[in-house]
Amino acid sequence: MKPMTPPPPGLAQIKPLVRYVDAEQAIVDTHFRLKPRFSLGNRRFPKRVRILLEIETESGFHDEKFERVELHRGCGMVQMKILVPQRWWPAGMGEQTLYTVTVTVLHGRHIIDKHRAMVGFTSVRSQGQVAGPLPEPTAWKSSTLMVNSQPCEIHTIVPVDQVHEKALLPVSGESLILVRDHYGPDNLFNAADRAGILMIQCVPIDPNGHAEKELLHQVPRLASHPSLAGWCVASQGRLGRAMLRRLKRLDPTHPVFTEIPQIRAA
């Protein structure tokens, strides 16, 4: 039997983060990471790479940008500004417009690799917070979240443990899903994106003590979902404090809560 040929080196992952959005513009930072053995021709570990970034919707909007990106340890970022964006809203407050972000690595006229991710242009804060850099992780002490600077009153929290993840989603934007004891699967977040349901992802305790390593995989997977209203992690202990610091570095666009208010559970 012939040995399996390893896949060609290219993109390992992409992570679009909505750094700012209002009715006039959205600013998206699309981070990407290359596979460890990435090369261009005979050049191993190049200092720069040529990137094509495309952002589009099913309704026909399309924008693109070519850029030679500086790499740091195989990672880079391309920023794009979208004028008059179609914002994503919870159910009952507006539409759930989703954009496709595509990152293509080029070498001359050749495509080295291409990855896609979905993103929605939305901003979620606790009541009393304003647009701009997020504050330190804190307890969420109100039942109201500010979505695109508009109050979204949360009447019900629906806890979803791994055993419940196939249950039906709430039908109201006034409900919030709290994903506990595991990282929610892609189909759960994709369904919430299209239904307009907000979600908070708890950072589960890793029985093997590798919680920080798991964040390196899970944050890029989940951070671009517009349904993600924030993260929740207990701040007690050395591990909790380490995860709070790591979350803030990996995802500076979403609030991190250390407590969730005791709203009526479904």
Which CATH fold would you assign to the domain 11-119? Immunoglobulin-like (2.60.40)
* Closest alpha carbon to 211 in 161, 250, 178, 173: 250
pLDDT of the chain, 266 residues: tens digit per residue: 444 455 556 899 999 999 999 999 999 999 999 988 776 666 666 789 999 999 999 899 999 999 999 999 889 999 999 999 999 999 999 999 999 999 999 988 889 999 999 999 999 988 755 555 555 666 666 678 999 999 999 888 888 876 555 555 655 667 889 998 889 999 999 999 999 999 999 988 766 666 677 888 899 999 999 999 999 887 667 777 788 888 888 999 999 888 776 654 44
Do 195 and 89 form a contact (C-beta atoms < 8 A)?
no
Q: Name the token pair of 90.
A: 């919870």
98: CB partners within 8 A, 6+ apart: 57, 58, 88, 118, 119, 120, 193, 194, 226
Q: Please tell me the pTM assigned to this model.
A: 0.84
* Residues pairing with 40 in the sheet: 43
Domain chopping of the chain, boundaries: 11-119, 124-259
- Tell me the CATH architecture of domain 124-259: Alpha-Beta Barrel (3.20)
